[in-house]
């Protein structure tokens, strides 16, 4: 039976029972008839207990890392659409901390502009992801060589810089 016919039949049956209940008086008051029915379009999945619990990975937000208090080199990002300093030298194993002093900047580089094998990727996100004042980015460099980088939105305005990591 399709659902509409079933609902019509159920309604007609409920109405007939209701009318019959109104006319029959046994002297002890009126009794309200009850009709129980369950309508479902599809079976419902019911969870079942298992002897072995299922491992469910619960995502946890990674703790926010604290920038180094005493980095080997600090670079201001965005003061007058430039990196300050625009050029510097550090040794392998030293840390550079970039600190945003203006909004709308990032740090990216082109293929071939950093030494092969480096694990430094510039700032996180796509080439259009920028960061605001107060943001920091730092990295400890383990690969010697020349590094050339820039701010994508302000590259045309000359916001470029470089540094050398020595052995």
**pTM for the full model?**
0.62
Asked if residue 155 and residue 88 are part of one domain, the reply reads yes
Q: Which residues pair with 163 in a beta bridge?
A: 88, 147
Average pLDDT over residues 47-57: 58
**What confidence score (pLDDT) does residue 2 get?**
63
* Cβ atoms 136, 67 nearer than 8 A: yes
Give per-residue pLDDT as tens, 61-81: 555 688 889 999 999 999 899
Domain assignment of residue 115, yes or no: yes
Domain assignment of residue 56, yes or no: no
- Computed over its alpha carbons, how large is the radius of gyration of the chain? 36
What is the CB neighbour count within 10 angstroms for residue 72?
Answer: 15
Residue 90 binned pLDDT confidence (cut-offs 50, 70, 90):
very high
Cα angle 96, 138, 143; round to 5: 60
Domain assignment of residue 80, yes or no: yes
Identify the CATH number of the domain in which residue 108 sits.
2.60.40.420
Domain residues for the domain of 15 are 1-24+32-38
- How many domains does the chain contain in total? 2
Average pLDDT over residues 153-161: 97
Domain assignment of residue 113, yes or no: yes
Asked if residue 87 and residue 8 are part of one domain, the reply reads no
């Amino acid at each position: 039976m399709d659902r509409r016919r079933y609902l019509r039949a159920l309604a007609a049956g409920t109405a007939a029972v209701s009318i019959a209940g109104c006319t029959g008086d046994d002297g002890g008051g009126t009794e309200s008839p009850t009709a129980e029915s369950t309508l479902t379009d599809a079976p419902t999945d019911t969870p079942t207990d298992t002897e072995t619990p299922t491992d469910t990975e619960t995502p946890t937000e990674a703790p926010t890392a604290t920038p180094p208090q005493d980095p080997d080199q600090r670079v201001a990002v965005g003061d007058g659409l430039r990196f300050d300093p625009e050029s510097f030298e550090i040794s392998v194993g030293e840390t550079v901390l970039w600190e945003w002093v203006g909004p709308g900047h990032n740090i990216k580089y082109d293929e071939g502009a950093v030494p092969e094998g480096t694990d430094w990727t510039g700032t996180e996100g796509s080439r259009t992801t920028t960061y605001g004042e107060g943001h920091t980015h730092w990295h400890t460099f383990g690969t010697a060589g020349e590094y050339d980088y820039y701010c994508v939105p302000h590259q045309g305005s000359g916001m470029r810089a470089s540094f050398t990591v020595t052995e």
